[in-house]
Chain A
Amino acid sequence: MENLLTANQLKAYYRTVQGEEVKAVDDVFLEVKEGEVLGIAGESGCGKSTLASVLSFTILPPLYLIDGEVIVDSHNIFILDKETLRREIKGRYISIVPQGAMNSLNPTSRIKNFVIDVLKEHFPDITKEEALKRARERFEALSLPARILDAYPHQLSGGMKQRTVTVISTLLNPSVLIADEPTSALDVSSQKIVIKLFVELLKRNIIKSIVFITHELLLLRHFADRIAIMYAGKIIELGPMEEVIFSPLHPYTKLLISSILVPEAGMKEKKIDAIPGVPPDLKNPPSGCRFHPRCPSYMKGVCEKISPNLVDITQEHKVSCFLYGGKDGT
């Protein structure tokens, strides 16, 4: 089956006023398949939000696309002109719920006005009544009270706001929904409700796939089909959820998983390992494998010299680490 989205050799850097380059996305490969939830996990500063911007083609200075392509519906979207991008792709094929979206709602305007604006962007001839009808139907189908449309943002709770912006961003039934940290500011119960909504959107075929970006790897365990681990601008492991969580390959992934704390019986006796050092500065990332200065399995003479490729270990599970080969592309 063809991928809904394929990203190849994606490189996007920030250029600062002082002339430095921040290599936030450095040679990233990704594929999004129909019907799946792809989770992208990484700590703050690893480049995941930049990746979200690139995938939803919101690339504005000081961020620059250096190399690579993103192929959607057999078009390389970076070659398309802005008009086509805006009319055909944005919102219809790929839609993004950016980080902090729920707090960017205009506080002086009712939700329904926002909905009308969004729909008119794509269907200039649509009337207010039609737009509202469509929104109401969609809200009801997803068991959200239609009265939200008449409310002002401050009248809604955090969870409600996040669900609202999510539903609105899927009004045009995009094939790929990209969500950047949609639940970070929510309490535990609201978080679960929002994730339930994402899953339902997929089940009902309103959207065809989800790319869920988060710093909380544990969340992905509960609804992602595949997980990609991002570190210092690169994808270092990619595989089915069960394998990445319960049989991680990359030393970084292993350390991340082992330091997860949950209120589950037996966890109290666990000893959590500290990962020495700090996540690298993307202006000056370490040579070779970017994790090597902190890696317990560091192999001198190898790891700091060249960057390992993303190598298939099983058919679905890839990892970029010299412990598993990858020195010469094998």
Chain B
Amino acid sequence: MALDKEILLEVKNLVRIFGSGKSAVKAVDNVSFSIRKGEILSLLGESGSGKTTTARLILKLLPLTEGKIIFKNRDITHLNNRRSLLEYWREVQAIFQDPFSSFNSFYSVKRVLNNVFRLIKDDIFKEDREEKIKESLLNVGLNPEEVLNKRPYELSGGQRQRIMLARILIIKPSLLIADEPTSMIDASSRAGILNLLLDLRGKYGMSIMFITHDMGLAYYTSDTLLIMNNGKIVESGDAEKIIENPKDSYTVRLLSDVPVLYRKWEL
């Protein structure tokens, strides 16, 4: 797929420090990269590498310590007024790892879908909203009658993640950040979720940034890989090229320790 050259998001010299003085931790250490329109990229790293913090910085769930975030050519580093934030979240959204805690267990799953209409400013009447919700559920392979009025605990992990995807389909952001979207789903349900995610780029030209520790997933889904270790990006580039010819020693070690199918480990 020929990638659009247009840059959607650019992150420059991002730093995030937690704590202060002697116990200060640099979770994100001078991270810079960009995402193009329609590109799928993976931020790959082990736990503690800073990948989740980076995602939260981009989602503006966390203030940054230093650096700049530029989205569609606008500097959104210090967005603080509510309206601009809502506009931003119309364009940049997320799906998280735990399909259970992504829902408020006190309400039916319909609520999480209804709530997106706060972001969509177009005057959509109640009937249209219901239509949009039903349509998006069908598009993720769920039957609206069966799931809409259920509580989260009545559905499986895979179904819950699909509802999260339906939510994304209603909003149709330009950029989706997917934080370990399948790691807490049964192996047999994973492929379905992944295929739906990849369709988002195929059908709607959405850019997707995967946050993951799973090299297989990153390689399979992404055009570009960014390998993170200790808050820094140690290697970045075309997924195919990195797998075939890793340059950084950390990447090399990671690749040799990941279990693959054909080449057997020498133990």
Tell which of B31-39, B74-82, B256-264 binds the partner. B256-264
Alpha-carbon separation in the docked complex, A294 to B191 (Å) = 14
- Decide if B195 touches A274 in the complex (CB within 8 Å): yes
Q: Do the beta carbons of B158 and A43 come within 8 Å of each other?
A: no
- Report how far A273 CA is from B194 CA in the complex, Å: 10
A273 contact set on B, CB distance < 8 A = 191
Contact between B258 and A262, CB atoms less than 8 A apart = yes
Q: A188-B46, A259-B191, A260-B216 are in contact. Are A218 and B186 (CB under 8 A)?
A: no
Tell me, yes or no, whether A221 is within 8 Å of chain B by CB: yes
B188 partner residues in chain A, CB cutoff 8 A? 43, 252, 255-256, 259, 275, 278-279, 294
Contact across chains for A264 and B261 when beta carbons are under 8 A apart: yes
Minimum CB–CB distance for A103 against chain B, Å: 15
> B216 near A262 (CB under 8 angstroms)?
yes
| Inter-chain contacts of B213 with A (CB < 8 A) | 187-188
CB distance from B257 to the nearest CB of A (A): 5
Q: Which residues of B contact A215 (CB under 8 A)?
A: 187
* A260 to chain B: closest residue by CB: B261
Contact partner of A222 among B47, B190, B243, B267, CB < 8 A?
B267
Shortest Cβ distance from residue A194 to the other chain B in the assembled complex, whole angstroms: 11
Q: Identify B267's interface contact among A191, A218, A223, A265, CB under 8 A.
A: A223
Q: Does B102 contact A (CB under 8 A)?
A: no
Interface positions, chain B 166-212, Cβ under 8 Å from A, are: 186-192, 194-195
Size category of the binding interface on chain B: 35 or more
Q: What's the dominant secondary structure at chain B's contact region?
A: helix
Taking CB atoms, residues of chain A closer than 8 Å to B215 are 188, 262-263
Q: Check B220–A267 contact: CB distance below 8 A.
A: yes
Q: Encode B239-267 as 1/0 by CB contact (under 8 A) with A.
A: 11001100000000111011111111101
Fill in one digit per residue for A213-231: 1 if any B CB lies within 8 Å of its CB, else 0: 0011111011100000000
Contact check, A219 vs B259: say whether CB atoms are below 8 A apart.
yes
Bound CA span A191–B258, Å: 9
Q: Are A272 and B195 within 8 A (Cβ)?
A: yes
Chain A residues numbered 7-57 whose CB sits less than 8 Å from any CB in chain B: 43-45
B257 and A191 within 8 A (CB): yes
Docked pose: A196 CA to B244 CA in angstroms: 25
B259 & A272 in contact (Cβ 8 Å cutoff): no
Q: State whether the Cβ of A189 lies closer than 8 Å to any Cβ in chain B.
A: yes
Q: Does B87 contact A (CB under 8 A)?
A: no
B187 touching A263, Cβ below 8 Å: no
A82 contacts chain B at the CB level, 8 A cutoff = no
A268: Cβ under 8 A from any B Cβ = yes
| Interface 1/0 per residue, B214-233 and A, CB below 8 Å | 11111110000000000000
Report the bound CA distance from A188 to B252 in whole Å.
13
Q: How far is the CB of A223 from chain B (nearest CB, A)?
A: 6
Does A261 contact B259, Cβ atoms closer than 8 Å? no
Cβ contact within 8 Å between A192 and B189: no
Starting from the known contacts A261-B214, A265-B240, 8 additional A-B residue pairs (CB-CB under 8 Å) come to A223-B265, A223-B267, A259-B187, A261-B216, A267-B220, A270-B220, A274-B189, A279-B186
Chain B interface residues (CB < 8 Å from chain A):
46-47, 156, 158-159, 186-192, 194-195, 213-220, 239-240, 243-244, 253-255, 257-265, 267
Could you give 13 example pairs across A and B, Cβ below 8 Å?
A43-B187, A187-B46, A188-B46, A188-B215, A195-B265, A222-B267, A259-B191, A262-B215, A262-B261, A263-B219, A264-B262, A274-B189, A276-B192
Chain A interface (Cβ < 8 Å from any Cβ of B)? 43-45, 187-189, 191-192, 195-196, 199, 215-219, 221-223, 245, 252, 255-256, 259-265, 267-268, 270, 272-276, 278-279, 294
Which are the 9 A-B pairs with shortest beta-carbon distances? A261-B216, A274-B192, A263-B219, A275-B188, A272-B191, A222-B265, A187-B46, A274-B191, A263-B215
